[in-house]
Amino acid sequence: MWTPRSRRHPCALAAGALSLALLLAACSTDVDGPGGEASVCDPATDAVFRAWERAGFDGSIAIIGPDLTCVGAYGVADPATGRANTPDTVFSIGSITKAVTAAAITDLVADGALTLETTAGEVLSGLDGPVADATIDQLLLHTSGIDGAIGRDDDTITAAEAIDRLGGLDRLTDAGTEFNYSNAGYVTLALVVDELTDGYRNHVVAEVLRSADDEPVGAFWYGDPAPEGPRAVGEQDDGEPGHAGGGSSDRWVLDGAGGVAMTPADLARWTRDLMTGALPDLDVDEARLAGLVFDRGDGTVEAPGWVFIPEAFGERLWGTSGGGGGVGHEMTVGWLPERRLAIAIASNSGDVRADTLLQAILPAIVADEPLPRPATSETAPDRADIEALAGRWELDGLGGFEVVDDGDAVLVAAADPATFALLFPIPDPDEAADHEARTLEVVDGGTTEGAAERARLEADFGPIAGIEVLGTAWIDIEYRTYLSVAFEGGDEVPIWLALDETGSIAAAELGSTSPTLRHVAADDGGFAPLDPAAADAGLGLRLVEGGLEVAHPGGRSVATRSE
């Protein structure tokens, strides 16, 4: 059965601001925490993050500069027990693992163990197919043209099985010509490290995941070596608890591309030490990483394991993000060289994700304004208002939507294709239409990857009888197309897919008929979305005489309750 996959979002920091002076000036430095760093923030800053905690943020924040440090932990690490997040709580960093693998490879190149022109097949003797001809620099920069993945995140396979699967991958684009994000490419790099050292995992923990003072700063979410400290329990897109980790170490679907785990404080420290060349066993720094780049043509530059923005609000910026998948964590990290400052945010629930919080606070930081609180009222919402909102509503000529009581908030879900674009505005209608067409092709088995996924679906439910597009939404910086798949046995299964630029599956989920957007009580008496992008689009709900007023990019419409 389909399961979520790890995915890497575009660098959310690129849309934000770069002046962090206001935030750092408010941070405390007098309380020891992980690795000797501070574990609390100034009360004024902490109060803002506590407001985001009340709005639904479960996670941890670390902002580490040369002198000032702010580390805070908020919300619950485990909803089942009520255990709180602390600065020591460990999160899966998802695709930020690629920065770790890239550091290991870059160091091996610096040591002369291989060159950037070395092909994967020269190191891995059993490797066949197009990937064997991919060079180290192409794999590092996602320009090998190799297909995106060799399995699902929860697959348990050995290194030998991974090499066999890699050999069967197609080349989607000509090598060295286009950016084509590939988890499989970084699995290949991890296998190269495995071959040239005492093993990928051992080498990474002993040589790469270290601080400037040679202390360990992370390990692996699945298998061994495992990180010390309590683990956050994530929330998958369907609301179910994320994978708790542990188990077998034969995770060669993920190794190299995902699976490393650490605290945000350790990630921020590691990023600072990596970029400044302070890691004791690595000959890697910002200059070496900047010496190998691929211009993506959109104002961003791909570097080994990182996105580099040469000119963002007058400063250089490095960043990368990871998350999704079966663990249900989100992590984002950025490095500002001129300030020698790193910021890392992790989240383990779906109400306020790490990238959502980052997008919310950075515009205020660049303007040297107070950090914004979420669009919530400081007083508890009226239960009668929430109960009055709950139910099915119809917008005349625009379709229907569902409002679900979520305790101290409401969840809004589109029920018709017309209301997808209304309630979940998309950046480009043509891009959304193209994504729908490519998604249908994948599920219909029209691509190599799609044929394999269709086979998995039919193995679970029987032959597919029909596919209906329910709509497309822009969520977590990606298009998601929602489908209803009918099977000959009578089952109808809702799914959504997110595809990358080349049409490969970036993420997939069973069981979701439409996206949902959490709205919370606002000070003006209505309900507003927490997501900054949705709030900026002017979305909101308000009970009025005669129905429910819906604010959307096209204006305001009054919905009536469905009979």
DSSP 113-180: SS-TT-BHHHH-TT--SGGGG-BHHHHHTT-S-B-S-SS-TT--B-HHHHHHHHHTPPB-S-TTTS--
Label residue 437 left, alpha or beta by phi (over 0 means left) and psi (-120 to 50 means alpha): alpha
Q: How far apart are CA 35 and CA 211, in angstroms?
A: 9
In a domain, 148, yes or no: no
In a domain, 156, yes or no: no
In a domain, 126, yes or no: no
Same domain, 349 and 489: no
In a domain, 433, yes or no: yes
CB 318, CB 306: distance < 8 Å: yes
Same domain, 292 and 438: no
Domain limits for position 452: 429-510
Q: Which token pair is 541?
A: 């709900």
Residue that finishes a domain, picked among 494, 510, 526: 510
For residue 418, give the CATH number of its domain. Answer: 2.40.128
In a domain, 359, yes or no: yes
Kindly give the confidence (pLDDT) of every residue in the chain, 563 residues in length, as a single tens digit, with 9 standing for 90 and above. Answer: 333 334 443 333 333 333 333 333 333 333 333 333 434 788 888 888 888 898 889 999 998 877 667 899 999 999 999 999 999 999 999 999 999 999 999 999 999 999 999 999 999 999 999 999 999 999 999 999 987 788 877 789 999 999 999 999 988 888 988 888 889 999 999 999 999 999 999 999 999 999 999 999 999 999 999 999 999 999 886 678 989 999 899 999 999 999 999 999 999 999 999 999 999 999 999 999 999 999 988 788 999 999 998 876 567 889 999 987 789 999 999 898 988 889 899 999 877 889 888 777 766 665 567 888 886 666 677 788 888 889 999 988 778 899 999 888 888 988 877 788 788 888 888 899 999 999 998 888 887 778 877 888 888 889 999 999 888 888 767 889 999 999 998 889 889 888 876 677 777 778 777 888 888 888 778 888 877 667 777 788 988 988 999 988 778 889 999 86
In a domain, 408, yes or no: yes
Q: Taking the complete model, does pTM exceed 0.85, yes or no?
A: no
Same domain, 483 and 454: yes
Same domain, 393 and 304: no
In a domain, 177, yes or no: no
DSSP assignment letter at 54 = H
Same domain, 411 and 524: yes
| Bridge partners for 499 per DSSP | 505
Q: Which token pair is 550?
A: 């819906």
Q: How far apart are CA 455 and CA 445, in angstroms?
A: 8
Residue that finishes a domain, picked among 510, 527, 544: 510
Find all residues with CB under 8 Å of 255, minimum gap 6, and list them: 187, 190, 200, 201
Same domain, 410 and 538: yes
Same domain, 281 and 397: no
Token look-up 């960043």 returns 319
Same domain, 439 and 360: no
Of 98, 96, 73, nearest to 83 (Cα)? 73
Considering its fold, how many domains does the chain have in total? 3
For residue 273, give the CATH number of its domain. Answer: 3.40.710.10
Find all residues with CB under 8 Å of 437, minimum gap 6, and list them: none
Same domain, 358 and 405: no
In a domain, 184, yes or no: no
Same domain, 413 and 447: no
Q: Which token pair is 558?
A: 């009054």
Residue that finishes a domain, picked among 341, 366, 391: 366
Same domain, 418 and 556: yes
Helix (H), strand (E) at residue 462: none
Same domain, 265 and 343: yes
